[in-house]
Structure 1
Amino acid sequence: MSGFDIGQDIISYVALGDSFTEGMDDPYPGDSAVPQGGRYRGWADRLAEHVADTGTEVRYANLAVRGKLIRQIIDDQLPRAVELRPDLVTFCAGGNDIIRPGGDPDLVARVFEGAVRRLTDTGATVVLFTGADTASQPVMRHLRGRIATYNMHVRAIADRYGCPVVDLWGMAALHDRRAWSEDRLHMSAEGHRRLALRVCEVLGVPAEGDWDAPWPDLPAPDWRLARQADLHWAREFLVPWIGRRLTGRSSGDGRTAKRPNLEPLR
């Protein structure tokens, strides 16, 4: 981890990726929802806040945009990240490629490695992420094989380039449905909070809280309510997602990065 030292007076941090890194679905305190064009918080913002809490000045850019495929991230975000020459980079990409029909984790991994090479050449510490285990999500369970294959590639790439890895697959706390938002694809605010703490642990950043703390007990499941929730999810989230795939649209169309420049965290 050549470019990152928690003892520095100033740390520059750039986050690259898609909706996972943009912060969906984690609204800022006081906002019950984020309106069209609004800004989410997310684990990357929370990570920057934790670093700043140590007394270090943090200059932070978040280039992530929801819905982006890996080649779009490389074309649109990677050159800017290299230009900024940060001390710390978090890079998570490829998930949107893999969950699409015919997604090839081997091909995505080859593209991913080229990006990691360019990022590590800057001297930055580049943090990588495995995909989360979808065993607890019935609609996504069939993707476990692709995700596991991609995860093995990510770990091998991390070994080759000396990158720390945040293992989402092994985070049992993410197996609880409360770690995920209503759309069952993005993390909830609590999921983002726990993930930020896990990234801090990997980087050696002191932070208050336990990402692996037990969840409070849930009442016994009600199958009628569960079926109603499934129907609501299909109507509100699955059908629109399929519609975007069929028409070649993306949730990120027309959107730009929420923090395109390295700016002091306030």
Structure 2
Amino acid sequence: MADKSTASRNPRIPAIRSYAALGDSFTEGVGDPGSDGRYVGWADRLAVLLNDHASGHDFRYANLAVRGKLLDQIIADQVPRAKELGPELVTLAAGGNDLIRPGADPDALAERFEKAVADLTSAAGTVMVTTGFDTRDVPVLSRVRGKVATYNGHVRAIADRYGCPVLDMWSFKSVQDRRAWIADRLHLSAEGHERVALRAGRVLGLDVPGDPDRPWPLEPPRTVLQRRRDDIAWAREYMVPWIGRRLRGRSSGDHAVAKRPDLLPLI
């Protein structure tokens, strides 16, 4: 996580004293393991930045996100809980697991997403929404790029209507580097999560302790043969099992629960 001692404060930005994160594996933090065995992730890292900015005030944080969840599951399980908690900030990242499934309708999905945003804005001070990543260079997922772009357009329009800040992942070039992702190509690495947290902090007006757009170290270019071998290995180890789970109607989040279901101080 970011070092609280190095995070600067912008006194012009009001302190956020409570934050609840909603979503799926992206927000749960899959790909960014902590020392205690639980995932960390960008939302936890953002909470550290918010906690530092709120120095002198009590800060509390909840993370309701659960891997594998579809939009309707997030709406049914996490949105009501977030309304009960009534935090000053909610982040909502949802719809990605729906869009990668055959037959997904981004227009219908966005209608349900908007109802969730309307519901949350009635109970939370600020609702920050997140767009989907650009899947142009990801094998297989590149086929749903058009749907992701359509959904993102709706998300931005919804944000305009409800006055929501937008954490825009589509335009975030820094996480298009393969080193921002773990081997499954579906989840961010620890470095990827850190960069997203820094970008989220900037969206909220914080002075963050690092540059989310900093260049990655140079590395030797990979040959076409190396890329093909990597793609074959990825398909065998990750894509085929993923398809198998879909065919069996199973999800990685079937038995998972929220890691921080209550608004509690960071410790």
For the Cα contact (< 8 Å) 1:50–1:206, is it kept in 2? no
For the Cα contact (< 8 Å) 2:132–2:168, is it kept in 1? yes
Counterpart residue number, 2:241: 240
Q: Distance in 1 between matches of 2:13 and 2:185?
A: 34
For the Cα contact (< 8 Å) 1:65–1:252, is it kept in 2? yes
Counterpart residue number, 1:14: 20
Structure 2 gap segments, 5+ residues each: 1-11
Counterpart residue number, 1:35: none
Tell me how far 1:225 sits from its aligned partner: 3.3
Describe the superposition over 1:121-145 as per-residue Cα deviations: whole angstroms up to 9, x where unpaired. 1142000011111112132111110
For the Cα contact (< 8 Å) 2:83–2:124, is it kept in 1? no
Worse-matched range after superposition: 220-229 or 165-174: 220-229
2:146 maps to a residue whose letter is G
Q: Distance in 2 between matches of 1:162 and 1:7?
A: 17
Secondary structure of 1:57's match? coil
Counterpart residue number, 1:53: 52
- Please give the residue correspondences for 1:123-162 in structure 2 after superposition, counting only pairs within 5 Å: 123-162=124-163
- Please give the residue correspondences for 1:63-82 in structure 2 after superposition, counting only pairs within 5 Å: 63-82=64-83
- Please give the residue correspondences for 1:1-266 in structure 2 after superposition, counting only pairs within 5 Å: 6-8=13-15, 11-28=17-34, 30=35, 38-54=37-53, 55=55, 56-266=57-267
Q: Distance in 2 between matches of 1:174 and 1:134?
A: 11
Tell me how far 1:181 sits from its aligned partner: 1.1
Tell me how far 1:227 sits from its aligned partner: 2.9
Q: Distance in 1 between matches of 2:222 and 2:140?
A: 18
1:144 maps to a residue whose letter is R
Tell me how far 1:79 sits from its aligned partner: 0.6
Q: Distance in 1 between matches of 2:30 and 2:51?
A: 22
Q: Distance in 1 between matches of 2:221 and 2:98?
A: 36
Describe the superposition over 1:23-65 as per-residue Cα deviations: whole angstroms up to 9, x where unpaired. 010112x57xxxxxx4200000000011122225320000000
Secondary structure of 1:13's match? strand
For the Cα contact (< 8 Å) 2:22–2:64, is it kept in 1? yes
Tell me how far 1:174 sits from its aligned partner: 1.6
For the Cα contact (< 8 Å) 2:139–2:231, is it kept in 1? no
Q: Distance in 2 between matches of 1:134 and 1:91?
A: 20
Describe the superposition over 1:200-230 as per-residue Cα deviations: whole angstroms up to 9, x where unpaired. 0000122100000111111121344333322
Matched residues, percent identical?
A: 61
After TM superposition, the score normalised by the length of structure 1 is 0.92
Structure 1 gap segments, 5+ residues each: 32-37
Worse-matched range after superposition: 50-59 or 211-220: 50-59
- Runs of at least 4 residues of structure 1 off by over 3 A? 5-8, 222-225
Q: Distance in 1 between matches of 2:192 and 2:245?
A: 26
